[in-house]
Structure 1
Amino acid sequence: MQRWRLAPQSVLFAVFLGALAALPPISIDMALPALGNIANTLHASASQAGLTLSLFMAGFAVGPIVYGPLSDARGRKPTLLLGLALFTVGGIVSALAPGIAVLLGARLVQGIGAGAGMTVALAIVRDLFEGNAMQHRLAAITVVANVAPIVAPSIGVGLLAAIEWRGIYGVMAVCGLLAALATWAGLTESAPQRSGSFAVSGLRDGYRHALTHRVVLGHILINGFGFGWMFAYVAGSPLVLLHVLHVRPIIYAAMFAMTGAGIVAGATLNGLIAARGFESRRILATAICTTLAATLGLIALSVLHQASLLTIMPLLVASTFCFGLAAPSAARGALDPIPALAGVAGGLLTSIQMLCGAASSSIVALLFPVLGIFSMSGVMAVCALLAGMVWIWLGQRGRIETPVAVADADSTSPV
């Protein structure tokens, strides 16, 4: 009997890769409604319960730094299985945690495990697809991964009512286990070449090649700043909409879903226009300029005291739409030039994306008591401006050209 395999051209394969990329947002957003219950059950403070999210994100930011080169050296499949095993174990221990200290440790482990999903998914796409086909696949992953944050809080509320907060972590563990089984049974190894060795020197050399490749680094930074303006909105929207504009919670939930749908629409459009030969550099320029115009519009509305739900929502939807439009093109630009180091490039892309998101959201939270609505729109505008500066710095090198081998990396233009 022929063994079942995930066919790379199939819709199921795209959903599988998208599900891997969706594990982190599901694990963050699905647990949000349970923070109060966790604090009460484990006799912890609200800030300690909030650390379950912070430590998960910290693990998720650090993990890809190791998974990337590990997948280049040992292969995509075993690296992914390792990460999913850590994610599953972290979920099980979280569900059974007797105290807050154990829960925090388990969430850190779970975050480290989750980092394998996006990193290896990006590397697999680079292994199996070329050109516009790769960009179309990256757009599909972006769509699936960004549907998850829209629906995850509602799922979390339902699970909290049915099986309490421990059940939420149990469901996460089941998701990790199912993903591991699908990987073990259906995924064929795609890494083009494997050295079988994983040493600190190889880690250093791999990251040196990636970080001194102007095109790779530039697209990684554009993606990171794009995620920065999107996460500044995520952090600032409840503060602005609920506390400044006094929008009802049910309306806020609908508006948040609308902006999330904007990301999905942007990524979908990216896949469609890439298939018709639109150049990635032009797509990135359109997304960055539109976001900069939208965020400057937000600032102007605030200065003129014209900010309201009706005036700012179109601009916020435009900004999140532009992140969805830019992300697949930026990912392609980071992965395309060095196929032999796709894991390293994917790891850097994932890690820097999370670090930019964490930094922008933290700055919004810190500045909001002083600047109010300007904290959100200002940070979004700065991120868009920085992305535009990187785009200019790339110049015509931002055009995606023929990939180079690792051996040629030193001959490419340095930073």
Structure 2
Amino acid sequence: MTSKVHGFGFTALLGGLSALPALATDMALPSVSLVQADFGSSPAEAASAIAVFLAGFSTAPLVVGPLADRFGRKPVMLAGLALFALASIGCALAPSIAVLIVARVLQGVGAGAVAILPRAIIRDLFEGREARLQLAAVSIVFSVAPLIGPTLGAALLAIGPWRLIYATHAVVAVTLGAFTLAKLGESHDETMRRSLRPATIVAGYRRALTNRMCGGFSLIVGLVFAGLFAYVNVSPLLFIEGYGFSQAGFGGLFAMTASGVIAGSLLNTWLVRRHASPRAVLDAALSAIALAGLTVFIASLGGHPSLVLVIAPVMIYISAFGLVMPNAVHEAIHPLPDIAGIASAVLVSAQMLFGALGGSLAAALYRDSSPLAIGLVMSAGGLAAGLVYLVWLRPGVEA
């Protein structure tokens, strides 16, 4: 039942599978204007070809989780990759904006099916410290996608049409599928397979949502991600309009801040190897997130703060997020080994839901080229996450 590889190749494969949604979204960002010109569509229609991906991605885990608990991780993973590859081909060959939008929804469904399973696989195979090390390592690989996605998309546009981006998506999916087929064994024990009867599925989700650790840490991940996505969503407007960055300059600045996730994940790996307790890591990381969010908010109350007073706390927030994620994922999924697929689905869906809410709220509140909206959402999300952890979850975390 175990995976054939537990070394670098195993980690790289799980990281690549986890990164597929981010790569599919970020690579397509530079192509929006070209899609609009090619089809003669409105800007809103062209932009929706990016946004609808999230619609498919955010709903798929709720269906895929029970399927993975019933049929195993590997066949569901391969099915998700096959759907993603076929939908990518559909995007590349789309004769109209309507067909492209439908294909993007299906591409999102395939990505959603793939993205939740690496966490479930790690829960199947590892316990305690080893599980946290694997989660941190996968986070490092996963975090590279947002950094290289837009650059890779722009590079493909320099040598071919926008359809080449989606053809590349298909090649990536087929490649990941080949490695999954050859290198990844089934991790889910047949004795733990669950029925697909509606009553059983509902009971599984009820159990995951009412489990203190799973429900609580899913909420924490969602709240912290709301602040992070507030920054992601509004940062182009803030730094280009408010601070006068060029498109290229903003790209470099965004890559620098986004690399904080890698720094946090590397630090978490170092701490785990030195037997730091999950409670100590979460205490420090969630405190840093709350203070960083408050710093941006308070600095923005006086008007237009210096760039350092925005970038420095944002870097701290994102780096601390890299510390929180592996530990929160472990604490959320570990208590529910027999429904790890459902638990992973709850975690990912909470992350996406709160991220969408945080990004939308920050965009709605954004005014006068000020970081106040970002600071408000970051501080609210960070403080709420800290409160949930302190009052509800901390006593149950390993000291």
Find the counterpart in structure 1 of residue 31 from structure 2. Answer: 34
Q: Map residues 128-207 of structure 1 onto 2, 5 A cutoff.
A: 128-192=125-189, 193-195=191-193, 197-207=195-205
Find the counterpart in structure 2 of residue 320 from structure 1. Answer: 318
Among 224, 227, 230, which residue is 1:226 paired with? 224
Q: CA RMSD in A?
A: 1.6
Distance in 2, matches of 1:350 and 1:26, equals 17
Find the counterpart in structure 1 of residue 116 from structure 2. Answer: 119
Among 276, 288, 291, which residue is 1:290 paired with? 288
**Residue-pair matches, total:** 397
Instruction: Give secondary structure in 1 for the equivalent of 2:196.
Output: coil
In structure 2, what residue type is equivalent to 1:54?
A
Distance in 1, matches of 2:25 and 2:66, equals 26
Distance in 2, matches of 1:133 and 1:172, equals 32
**Does the 8 Å contact 2:300/2:370 carry over to 1?**
no
Q: Map residues 100-111 of structure 1 onto 2, 5 A cutoff.
A: 100-111=97-108
Distance in 2, matches of 1:73 and 1:306, equals 54
Q: 1:22 and 2:16 equivalent?
A: no
Distance in 1, matches of 2:394 and 2:256, equals 35
> Which blocks of at least 5 consecutive residues in structure 1 are unaligned?
402-415
Instruction: Give secondary structure in 1 for the equivalent of 2:377.
Output: helix
Find the counterpart in structure 2 of residue 309 from structure 1. Answer: 307
Instruction: Give secondary structure in 2 for the equivalent of 1:47.
Output: helix
**TM-score, length-normalised on structure 2?**
0.96
Instruction: Point out 4+ residue stretches in structure 1 off by more than 4 angstroms.
Output: none
Q: Map residues 223-372 of structure 1 onto 2, 5 A cutoff.
A: 223-305=221-303, 307-369=305-367, 372=370
Q: Map residues 356-395 of structure 1 onto 2, 5 A cutoff.
A: 356-369=354-367, 372-395=370-393
In the TM superposition, residue 143 of structure 1 has moved relative to its aligned partner by 0.8
In structure 2, what residue type is equivalent to 1:367?
L
In the TM superposition, residue 400 of structure 1 has moved relative to its aligned partner by 4.4
In the TM superposition, residue 244 of structure 1 has moved relative to its aligned partner by 1.3
**Does the 8 Å contact 2:258/2:318 carry over to 1?**
yes
In the TM superposition, residue 52 of structure 1 has moved relative to its aligned partner by 1.3
Distance in 2, matches of 1:6 and 1:129, equals 11
In structure 2, what residue type is equivalent to 1:56?
F
**Does the 8 Å contact 1:136/1:272 carry over to 2?**
no
Distance in 2, matches of 1:370 and 1:51, equals 26
**Does the 8 Å contact 2:156/2:164 carry over to 1?**
yes
In the TM superposition, residue 310 of structure 1 has moved relative to its aligned partner by 2.6
Distance in 2, matches of 1:222 and 1:196, equals 28
> Which blocks of at least 5 consecutive residues in structure 2 are unaligned?
none
In the TM superposition, residue 273 of structure 1 has moved relative to its aligned partner by 0.7
Distance in 2, matches of 1:240 and 1:303, equals 15
Instruction: Give secondary structure in 2 for the equivalent of 1:18.
Output: helix
Q: Percent identity?
A: 37
Using the TM superposition, name which of 202-211 and 6-15 deviates more: 6-15
Distance in 2, matches of 1:254 and 1:200, equals 48
Question: What is the CA deviation profile of residues 362-414 of structure 1, one whole-angstrom value per residue up to 9, with x for unaligned ones?
Answer: 1111111478421111011111011112102324443149xxxxxxxxxxxxx
In structure 2, what residue type is equivalent to 1:307?
P
Using the TM superposition, name which of 363-372 and 373-382 deviates more: 363-372
In the TM superposition, residue 323 of structure 1 has moved relative to its aligned partner by 0.7
Distance in 1, matches of 2:284 and 2:227, equals 15
Distance in 1, matches of 2:395 and 2:339, equals 19
Distance in 1, matches of 2:365 and 2:303, equals 19
**Does the 8 Å contact 1:228/1:360 carry over to 2?**
yes
Find the counterpart in structure 2 of residue 99 from structure 1. Answer: 96
Find the counterpart in structure 2 of residue 9 from structure 1. Answer: 6
Q: 1:73 and 2:70 equivalent?
A: yes
In the TM superposition, residue 249 of structure 1 has moved relative to its aligned partner by 2.7
Instruction: Give secondary structure in 1 for the equivalent of 2:160.
Output: helix
Question: What is the CA deviation profile of residues 287-310 of structure 1, one whole-angstrom value per residue up to 9, with x for unaligned ones?
Answer: 121121112111222223461223
